[in-house]
Structure 1
Amino acid sequence: MKVTKETIEYVANLARLKLTEEEKEKFIRDMENIISYVDKLNELDTSEIAPTDHVIPINNVFRDDEVLDSYPKDKMLMNAPSKENGCFKVPKVVE
């Protein structure tokens, strides 16, 4: 794929970058190098590779969910500076 100056200017505009003419020329070469490398990677046969395969084995480390009793509401509210109808009462923060 050929990268043009207009393409670089378009991407720079999207990224809100102001590039000099020298920077635009440099980015044209850089983008063409990146695209040619990706094209080279696309030549590889990946049909035997699972989409989420990793070099090292990864296992799920989550624990099983267990239903436990919650802390008693009376004890939680015991130290509350202010409470109302069995709930914490907090100052209004939205006007």
Structure 2
Amino acid sequence: MSSTVRASELRDCLAAAIREFPFDDYGLDDVSYLLEDTPDTQEWVPALADALLPVVRHLEAEAAAARKYAEEMRDFCSPHGLSVHYADQLIEVMDRAKEGQT
């Protein structure tokens, strides 16, 4: 998947999350009304999604680096295979977080 396609899909997901956010729960009733009444004319939604995109990319890069390090831990020399045990636990936790579990 090209990075342009990935960025576009991610931006679309962010925009959808922004549109679905309960702004009225935070005293931003006007924003909620605008999104309900004229969702397609709200140019600020894609602009906000674009602003959030670098933050999300940074977090994805950090998670990928942590996952890579956990995979490398399997090859560490450690007594009783502790590094493999901890690597498995780290990867399991990251997988659960990726699936939205805690």
Structure with more helix by fraction: 2
TM-score where L is the length of structure 2: 0.33
- Structure possessing the higher relative contact order (Cα contacts under 8 Å, 6 or more residues apart): 2
Structure with more strand by fraction: 1
TM-score where L is the length of structure 1: 0.35
